[in-house]
Amino acid sequence: MLAALGLDDVDQLFQPIPPDLRAPADLDLPRPHAEQEVATELGRLAARNRHMDELTCFLGAGVYDHYVPAAVWYLAGRGEFATSYTPYQPEMSQGVLQALFEYQTLISELTGLEVSNASLYDGASAVAEAATMAVAATRRSELLVSGAVAPRVRELLDTYSQGLDIKLVEVGALDGHTDLEEARGKAGDQTAGLLLAQPNFLGVVEDVAAAARVAHDAGAKLLVSFDPLSAGLLEPPGRLGADIVVGEGQALGNHPNFGGPAFGFLACGPADVRRLPGRLVGETVDTAGKRGYVLTLQAREQHIRREKATSNICTNQTLNAIAAAVYLSWLGPAGLEELGRLCLRLAHYAAERLAAIPGVSLAFPGQPFVKEFVVRLPADPAEVCRRLVGHGLLAGLPLAGLAPGLADGLLVAVTERRTKADVDRLAEAMAAVLADLGAGGEGRGGEGAGRGDGEVAP
Under rule CB under 8 A, residue 325 binds another protein: yes
Under rule CB under 8 A, residue 153 binds another protein: yes
CB atoms within 10 A of CB 118: 28
Which residues, 60 to 89, sit near another protein by CB under 8 A? Answer: 61-63, 65, 69, 71, 73-89
Under rule CB under 8 A, residue 253 binds another protein: no
Q: Which is nearer to another protein, 302 or 445 (CB)?
A: 302
Stretch that binds another protein, among 137-145, 335-343, 426-434, 447-455 (CB under 8 A): 335-343
Longest dimension (CA), the chain: 87
The nearest distance, CB 62 to another protein, in angstroms, is: 7
Under rule CB under 8 A, residue 175 binds another protein: no
Under rule CB under 8 A, residue 370 binds another protein: yes
Which residues, 178 to 237, sit near another protein by CB under 8 A? Answer: 205, 207-210, 231-236
When binding is defined by CB under 8 A, the residue of 136, 273, 355, 432 that contacts another protein is: 273
Stretch that binds another protein, among 59-67, 177-185, 187-195, 216-224 (CB under 8 A): 59-67
Strands in 142-146's sheet, in edge-to-edge order, are 115-116, 264-268, 244-248, 221-226, 191-198, 142-146, 167-171
Under rule CB under 8 A, residue 118 binds another protein: yes
Q: What count of Cα atoms within 13 Å lies in the side-chain half-sphere of residue 234?
A: 28
Under rule CB under 8 A, residue 326 binds another protein: yes
Amino acid letter at 188? G
| Phi, psi for residue 280 in degrees, rounded to 5 | -140, 135
Name the nearest CA neighbour of 372 among 138, 82, 148: 148
Q: Which is nearer to another protein, 261 or 404 (CB)?
A: 261
Distance between CA 192 and CA 382 in Å, rounded?
38
When binding is defined by CB under 8 A, the residue of 213, 341, 391, 425 that contacts another protein is: 341
Cβ–Cβ < 8 Å for 369, 205? yes
Distance between CA 219 and CA 100 in Å, rounded?
33
Number of shown-chain residues binding another protein (CB under 8 A):
203
Under rule CB under 8 A, residue 141 binds another protein: no
Which residues, 433 to 452, sit near another protein by CB under 8 A? Answer: none
Q: Which is nearer to another protein, 85 or 450 (CB)?
A: 85
SS3 of residue 268 by DSSP: strand
When binding is defined by CB under 8 A, the residue of 320, 375, 426, 457 that contacts another protein is: 320
Under rule CB under 8 A, residue 287 binds another protein: yes
Distance between CA 246 and CA 226 in Å, rounded?
6
Q: Which is nearer to another protein, 14 or 453 (CB)?
A: 14
Amino acid letter at 125? S
Under rule CB under 8 A, residue 394 binds another protein: yes
When binding is defined by CB under 8 A, the residue of 99, 180, 357, 434 that contacts another protein is: 99
Q: Is the peptide bond before 199 cis (omega within 30 degrees of 0)?
A: yes
Under rule CB under 8 A, residue 356 binds another protein: no
Under rule CB under 8 A, residue 5 binds another protein: yes
Distance between CA 410 and CA 397 in Å, rounded?
6
Q: Which is nearer to another protein, 129 or 408 (CB)?
A: 129
Distance between CA 394 and CA 54 in Å, rounded?
10
Question: What is the β-pairing status of strands 167-171 and 142-146?
Answer: parallel
CA angle 339, 345, 351 (to 5 degrees): 130
Distance between CA 379 and CA 358 in Å, rounded?
12
